[in-house]
Structure 1
């Protein structure tokens, strides 16, 4: 008889809200896939569509990167009543490489404006047509990119560009410029990220990040003493 694979996501209710246990022995991409499936189910609508509930994400002995945290938050955004209040790892900070961090800004980059940054940046807002966001590291936008985004502006080819709505006029990573904007699928509503592969810019859904960029996870893990 075959071995039964235990659940990657376990949900428990408490007096304060809901606990989501994410199995630290499974690949994070597989856990994200299972989490997405469970959040999209309709047979638990009394929970998913009920009153506002606090959510705590327990990661076990796993630490996650900032892009992975953003991917989890994006999945939960489909259930407006489920509000993530905390991530927790056992005996350690839940985020990898906290000392270098990521700068978070909020606002809208309007037409004619240029937002430049050194390092990774998380923008809570939109980049409108005619606006530009440029960073020497990766760019994460919890909103829409409809203007120009340039990540890895000093030559970092491992940088990525991620957004809740990715419909840019142009993308650049390091010295590579995207194809014409008609390549971007207007029907796609999931968070996506752009990255370099074979000297071309490709786009994938956010939950594929750990599969496509496993080298980044390895480097971050090995920065810890």
Structure 2
């Protein structure tokens, strides 16, 4: 089933992107699943914006009630340009600087700590065992990753995880999960985890500016 709904961090805040050609029933059903899977992501009183011209008044009212069950307010906004969530559009957006907000953490994330961001996250340090990183966008760990990482937490299957030393206990991208083997050796190069053919794959990658 194709992705008809997506949550994205943008300059206007947290935004609900809807496939313009999708059936409303599919949109509603996918939203229910995404909200259930993101119970620990949203804080009480979160406001999510949606293009006012995408929904009828009846559809907007129905989705507002659905969001309200999770303590979220759905706000219809007259955007000058509504973005499609097709794969091609996602690739274009990824190349535009500033289209997705990025949070930078310049310290090690210790076990038991949890960092959640609706955009992308850069960790300038290690992610220790027991730590959890959840991002609506990409995750970049400039150190050793031994915790749990979840990129594309709202269904962005184009998201990725990159780490100088990828030793994560669990890697999640969108709705896919990859668990680490019992014994992990420290990697010797930077690696990137991403989705290919409906599977999470990990490949070596060269950072720009790296020696």
TM norm structure 2: 0.49
